[in-house]
Structure 1
Amino acid sequence: MSAESTPEPGTPGQPATTGPRHRAAGGRRGKGPAKRSKALLVTAWTAAGVLVLGGTGAGYLYFKLNGNIKSVDINQVLGTDRPLDVDNGSQDILVLGSDTRSGGNEKLGGGTDDGSARSDTAMVVHVYEGHKRASVVSIPRDTLVERPECTDANGKTHPAASYAMFNSAYSTGGAACAVKTVESMAGVRMDHYIEVDFAGFEKLINVLGGVDITTTKDIEDPDSHLDLEAGEHTLTGEQALGLVRTRHGVGDGSDLGRIQLQQAFVKALIEQVEDVGILNSPKKLYDLADTATDAVTTDSDLDSVKDLASFAGGLKGIDSKNMTMVILPVRYDPADPNRVLVAEKKADQVWAALKADKAIPKSATKGTATGTADGVVASGRQ
């Protein structure tokens, strides 16, 4: 199929990145390595199992899990100044990873010195009509953007900023500001918001029994506490976290390269979720549901076990083969190679495709900055 032909919605494509100039009023990159994994999406899939518990009559368990879920009322904070809510059967979800030092994250590193959180991983997940295919657009944290005026959860208004690092939106105004910034960039309304924290991710991997990957090269990164010889591995939660955090152990050491690594990891994780036998083990199902619900913060429309499970149940038909993962088209900033700029014309193709519920054209991600992440082959559990 040529790049110019019109593929089926969600047809798998390739990553990419090129674009205009902005200079940041947001924060500079912190010294700590980026820490989050694209495996955030697995929370949505595994939460579908919560529905089984909800139907057993185990009231205590149901309400215990309900109490785990934290939520943010995005709709109330943002009001009506948002892109049109198009009802065409598709859904768009902003998935973030946060590194707040609370809740056990302080033992794992990350976060800021004052205890506030940062978002170092961001994905826009577009679920196509019929909920059989999805496209995932990863937004590099170091992308310089026009951050809109934002009001945080405490009612404080933060002024707009030009040339701000994308991840400054979350650290400045929280979840609502991150959603508003993405909607401003994309012109696409986010139907839902899901955030997973650092410590929760590690626990989730452990409950799942680890993740199988194959390394074609030795990986050693003291910053990420990762030391793997070339070969097959079943990663523990700590090792998996180290893998998705590493910048210097694999590839060219760039944030874009790390995103490619994370995307491969997510696909391996999704392939394994169906094989862990959770529906045949009530204890494992509960442990998984308890960990998943405790790890997430959602928008207020997903703040109950029933709503989260219903939402996740609608995603169960999407497997890794029907998921396209790309990087938002960007180019390196000539003034600072540690920053990237949105390739506006190509990015517009990406967002236009999602708005129309169409596949992202290959032309949108051709010739843009991608980084490299050689050395790891993610492989599902056989």
Structure 2
Amino acid sequence: MSTSTRRRRYLRTAIGLAAVLVLSVVGAGAWFYHRLDSNITTFDAGGVATERPPAPVPASPGASVPVNVLLLGSDTRDDGNNALGGGDEGVGHSDTAIVLHVYADHKHAVGVSIPRDTLVTIPSCRLPSGTWTAPRNDQMFNSAFTVGEAPKGNPACTQNTVEKLTGLRIDHTVVVDFKGAAAMADAVGGVEACVPNDVNEYGIHLKKGLQKLSGQSAVDYLRARHGIGDNSDIGRMKRQQAFLSSMIKKVQSQGFSLPTLLPLADAATKSLTVDEGLGTAMKLVDFARSVQDIKLSDVTFVTAPWRFAGDRVRLVQPDADTLWKLLREDRTLDGQSTAGTGQVTTSPSATPGAGADTPLTPEQAAAPITVVNGVGTPGLAGSGSETLKGRGFRNITLGSNTPGHQVTRVAYDPALKAAADQVVALFPGAQAVQEPGTESITVTLGADYRPAGTRIDSVSSPSPRPGTATDATPGATSGATPNGGVPTGIAENTRNADTDPCANLTFG
């Protein structure tokens, strides 16, 4: 056999082996993704409210937009979770709720914890039977998850409640149960956490000090409430924030490679319930990679400004609404813009072409509009009226003042939708609400409205309502702006992700 013949045979053999290797890797990858897909449980999007906050639009063509992810921790004992959490099987509550706002630059993020005992309005939610409940006021936030008592809870109802509370459009919702938390901690080789003191309460046994937690001990750390600080949910949230910070640090140190992400995804997806937008392994991995450039030092955790109301919690105003407004406008906590951000300017169901540069039709220009001062600041309705006139609207009247509104609201009859979409575009962050039978488009200007030419930190805020927090109430100071313009109620409840894991872990 000639030398050239042997070379050709060796070449064919090498090419064949390489092809087999590539096909094996691709096949294994496809098999693994299929396995992950079969792990994932999604919840029915039919339970998501039809009237939702508007979605953000790019600041320029092709620019990125902010993303809001609702992270829920379910304390259900169903599906084997009682082995980790104790107690009887059944539907759990969402005792952990964090709204993760990823800024449009995808290099900064803020996670906002909502206390489980916060008294909120739970809007109309869908039951397993397909019927919808009536809205209920002054309900504990975590009870939204139990509406309908479905075995996997009601993530859509909690999402609806968060959107109602914050005015933020939630892009994705992820529910993690005890098994998921334990599996993810195991998958990264344990998470560094700090226990402020020995805990021996309600079957939870933890030793004081900085340590690596995984499996059962990680679940115990995340759910422990009694035996630390004042036994409140507020202190538990601080520890959850510190634990999540440590997990982010661990994943980042290992790199966002597939060998790191896939085992973590395999562990997590077995106990995750997600919205349909994250319903495949590829979508989950793609989202993880989209945030891989966020440094730990650029992640901040905030507990929504709060105060005790007996054995429940109420949010402190105006600071809580200031926080939601900053996130709706994709601004940092001190009111600054991040590069490449976009603002909410249209309703998600807006008429195509609605926007500040689109000429009004004669019918739209003649649409009846009533402008209401929903704050009490002198001249506010007049300023809103001038904004509308500058756009080309002609049929404008001023309504009676109705102070107490935090978010600007545009109500309209469906027949006036085309004109209403143009109105919404003039008031970034406004909530669009269909109200059949109304004779005019009603614009109620809230505390979030900023007249043309004013700065974000110069907008007048309404006076605190009777019964709201004072400086003497725990967790409740508001109004002042230390730390470069961050309102006190926000600054006091903020924790940077790169903070010492043993720092500021208890409340009381």
Normalised TM-score (structure 1): 0.75
Partner of 1:146: 121
Partner of 1:167: 142
Structure 1: how far apart are the matches of 2:184 and 2:491?
A: 36
Determine if contact 1:330/1:368 at 8 Å carries over to the other structure.
Answer: no
List per-residue Cα deviations over 1:150-209 (Å, max 9, x = no partner): 113441322221110000111115111101100111111101111111111112111211
Determine if contact 1:204/1:292 at 8 Å carries over to the other structure.
Answer: yes
Asked if residue 250 in structure 1 is aligned to residue 228 in structure 2, the reply is yes
Structure 1: how far apart are the matches of 2:113 and 2:312?
A: 15
Q: What SS does the corresponding residue of 2:222 show, helix, strand or coil?
A: helix
List per-residue Cα deviations over 1:26-57 (Å, max 9, x = no partner): xxxxxxxxxxxxxxxxxxxxxxxxxxxx9833
Partner of 1:56: 26
Structure 2: how far apart are the matches of 1:312 and 1:153?
A: 31
Partner of 2:92: 117
List per-residue Cα deviations over 1:250-308 (Å, max 9, x = no partner): 3222111111111111111111113347848x5x7653221122121111111011212
Which of 365, 368, 373 is the matching residue for 2:489?
A: 365
Which of 54, 75, 99 is the matching residue for 1:84?
A: 54
Asked if residue 104 in structure 1 is aligned to residue 229 in structure 2, the reply is no
Distance 1:224 1:244, change over 3 A: farther
Determine if contact 1:152/1:176 at 8 Å carries over to the other structure.
Answer: no
Partner of 1:270: 248
Determine if contact 2:102/2:108 at 8 Å carries over to the other structure.
Answer: yes
Asked if residue 185 in structure 1 is aligned to residue 165 in structure 2, the reply is yes
Gaps of 5+ in 1: 1-53
Partner of 1:305: 281
Partner of 1:50: none
Partner of 2:343: none
Partner of 1:9: none
Partner of 2:201: 222
Partner of 2:41: 70
Structure 2: how far apart are the matches of 1:214 and 1:184?
A: 35
Asked if residue 353 in structure 1 is aligned to residue 326 in structure 2, the reply is yes
Aligned-partner residue type, residue 218 of structure 1:
N
List per-residue Cα deviations over 1:90-110 (Å, max 9, x = no partner): 011111011222232021236
Determine if contact 1:224/1:246 at 8 Å carries over to the other structure.
Answer: no
State how 1:314-329 maps to structure 2 within 5 Å.
Answer: 314-329=290-305
Gaps of 5+ in 2: 1-23, 59-64, 149-153, 335-485, 495-499, 504-508
Shift of 1:221: 2.7
Structure 2: how far apart are the matches of 1:369 and 1:286?
A: 34
Structure 2: how far apart are the matches of 1:314 and 1:110?
A: 37
Partner of 2:483: none
Distance 1:359 1:104, change over 3 A: same
Q: What SS does the corresponding residue of 2:253 show, helix, strand or coil?
A: coil
Structure 2: how far apart are the matches of 1:349 and 1:117?
A: 31
Determine if contact 1:98/1:197 at 8 Å carries over to the other structure.
Answer: yes
Structure 2: how far apart are the matches of 1:233 and 1:259?
A: 19
| % identical aligned pairs | 38
Q: Tell me which structure has the larger Cα radius of gyration.
A: 2
Determine if contact 2:72/2:176 at 8 Å carries over to the other structure.
Answer: yes
Shift of 1:82: 0.7
Structure 2: how far apart are the matches of 1:143 and 1:83?
A: 21
Determine if contact 1:331/1:369 at 8 Å carries over to the other structure.
Answer: no
Structure 2: how far apart are the matches of 1:273 and 1:239?
A: 19
Distance 1:224 1:125, change over 3 A: farther
Aligned-partner residue type, residue 104 of structure 2:
E
Structure 2: how far apart are the matches of 1:308 and 1:369?
A: 30
Number of aligned positions between the proteins: 312
Aligned-partner residue type, residue 220 of structure 1:
V
CA-atom RMSD in angstroms: 2.6
Q: What SS does the corresponding residue of 1:57 show, helix, strand or coil?
A: helix
Determine if contact 1:221/1:246 at 8 Å carries over to the other structure.
Answer: no
Partner of 1:239: 217
Shift of 1:376: 6.0
Determine if contact 2:201/2:226 at 8 Å carries over to the other structure.
Answer: no
